Amino acid sequence: MKQETIDRIRKFTEDRDWDQFHSPENIAKSIVIEAAELLECFQWDGENFDKQHVQEELADVIVYIQNMLDKLGLDVDEIVNAKMTQNETKYPVEKAKGSAAKYDQL
Amino acid sequence: MKQETIDRIRKFTEDRDWDQFHSPENIAKSIVIEAAELLECFQWDGENFDKQHVQEELADVIVYIQNMLDKLGLDVDEIVNAKMTQNETKYPVEKAKGSAAKYDQL
Amino acid sequence: MKQETIDRIRKFTEDRDWDQFHSPENIAKSIVIEAAELLECFQWDGENFDKQHVQEELADVIVYIQNMLDKLGLDVDEIVNAKMTQNETKYPVEKAKGSAAKYDQL
Amino acid sequence: MKQETIDRIRKFTEDRDWDQFHSPENIAKSIVIEAAELLECFQWDGENFDKQHVQEELADVIVYIQNMLDKLGLDVDEIVNAKMTQNETKYPVEKAKGSAAKYDQL
């Protein structure tokens, strides 16, 4: 995400004085709530979905994720790279290729 | 997120030939599942949480969000800015300031 | 659910002195967390699932629902019948038959 | 739940010819979606919640759980008792009493 998009999200929260509601716990609840609204786009039909609606719900999840990164002072590249290192170990290419099995089933 | 982090996520999927499992519906399910694991960090105590664990679960959500953006060919700045424009209209500063009420309750 | 099953759930909580953790909010988080574990049984393949695993995750959701009913002093038949009356109005047979559309799209 | 409440849920689905949408996977998605709506009652404030709204969202989860039990031909007492036997073993009273720790942390 570009810095100006991140800044817009931050300003939105600041202008409304909403930081007081943004405890990590409340943001975690919000991420699940919005993720479930995203899933609702696929509730009865996984194939034919309203892409515009999907984009909006996906954006809602992304905004709360940015709120969480801000609240906890996290660097997105740092935490994602740390997790990718774990994932690469848990799912070695030679075992995981073409398989949807969970790492403890590989 | 930096381009090289995004590329690492894409290569991870490609190397394992996992694109076949990444239907938008399956990714939407995965986002909720990981978001709920993030919430689990706050299940019984919203105050005292394991920050390391939070970072890992948050990273999992972010990775699936990148998968969804890739799958649908979406530009993150475009969809977030479009949603922020909506949010700014739904939550005007003068009404929403300091209030956690939903837009239809303002 | 039979009274003896309900009593077993209650005794389990009592014996462990867990009522202190069972705020309605914490139980609501727990219901989502377990519901997402249920969904995980269908994460990459909606057709071929492990029925034994589904049963276990479904049971976990049911136990937390009983905890919520107990915590709020709710009668399951009363709240379900009240909601069914609403649903029957929102989804009239002649409009909803054979359609998965949401009530506001009918 | 009383037999007549269960029958009302079944008749509601039958009358609308909705069994065709009720794959186990779709019901699992629906349970998470409704569970997240229940959580939304506690999104920004875990203490002061709208009990009427909580009841309605809880009822929605319960209805989908009944749909899942019906779809899979499961007996609620059987699956809950099987899980309670597991839980009683995983959380022995002497270790778990007064603790919110997960079984693998006890």
For residue range D20-58, list pLDDT tens digits in order: 999 999 999 999 999 999 999 999 999 999 999 999 999
Q: In this predicted model, what pLDDT tens digit does every residue of C9-68 receive, in sequence order?
A: 999 999 999 999 999 999 999 999 999 999 999 999 999 999 999 999 999 999 999 999
Q: A67: Cβ–Cβ under 8 A, 6 or more apart, which residues?
A: A9, A13, A22, A27, A30
Q: Give the closest-approach CA distance of C55 to chain D in angstroms.
A: 6
pLDDT of residue A104: 86
Q: C61: Cβ–Cβ under 8 A, 6 or more apart, which residues?
A: C31, C34, C35, C38, D31, D35, D61, D65
pLDDT of residue B14: 97
* B32 residue type, one letter: V
Using a CB-CB distance cutoff of 8 angstroms, which residues of chain B are in contact with residue D105? none
pLDDT of residue D105: 86
Using a CB-CB distance cutoff of 8 angstroms, which residues of chain B are in contact with residue C35? 36
| Per-residue three-class SS string for chain B | CCHHHHHHHHHHHHHCCCHHHCCHHHHHHHHHHHHHHHHHCCCCCCCCCCHHHHHHHHHHHHHHHHHHHHHHCCCHHHHHHHHHHHHHHHCCHHHHCCCCCCHHHC
Q: Name the least confident of A77-81, B94-98, C8-12, C61-65.
A: B94-98
Using a CB-CB distance cutoff of 8 angstroms, which residues of chain C are in contact with residue D8? 81, 84
pLDDT of residue A106: 85
For C53, C62, C90, the CA distances from C57, given in Å and listed in that order, are 6, 9, 30
Whether D37 and chain A come into contact, CB under 8 Å, resolves to yes
pLDDT of residue D106: 85
Whether B73 and chain A come into contact, CB under 8 Å, resolves to no
Mutate to test the interface with C, among B20, B32, B60, B61 (most CBs of C within 10 A): B32
pLDDT band at C85 (very low <50, low <70, confident <90, very high): very high
Q: In this predicted model, what pLDDT tens digit does every residue of A2-57 receive, in sequence order?
A: 999 999 999 999 999 999 999 999 999 999 999 999 999 999 999 999 999 999 99
pLDDT of residue B105: 86
pLDDT band at B34 (very low <50, low <70, confident <90, very high): very high
Q: A3: Cβ–Cβ under 8 A, 6 or more apart, which residues?
A: none
Is 90 exceeded by the pLDDT of residue A103?
Answer: no
- The chain-wide mean pLDDT, for chain D, equals 97
pLDDT of residue C54: 98
pLDDT of residue B106: 85
Q: Give the closest-approach CA distance of A2 to chain B in angstroms.
A: 7
Using a CB-CB distance cutoff of 8 angstroms, which residues of chain C are in contact with residue A36? 32
ipTM of the predicted assembly exceeds 0.90: yes
Q: Give the closest-approach CA distance of A100 to chain C in angstroms.
A: 7
pLDDT of residue B41: 98
Q: Do B40 and C26 touch (CB under 8 A)?
A: no
Q: Name the least confident of A37-46, C55-64, C97-106, D77-86.
A: C97-106
pLDDT of residue B103: 85
Q: Name the least confident of A23-27, A93-97, B101-105, C98-102.
A: B101-105
- The chain-wide mean pLDDT, for chain B, equals 97
In chain B, the percentage of residues whose pLDDT exceeds 70 is 100
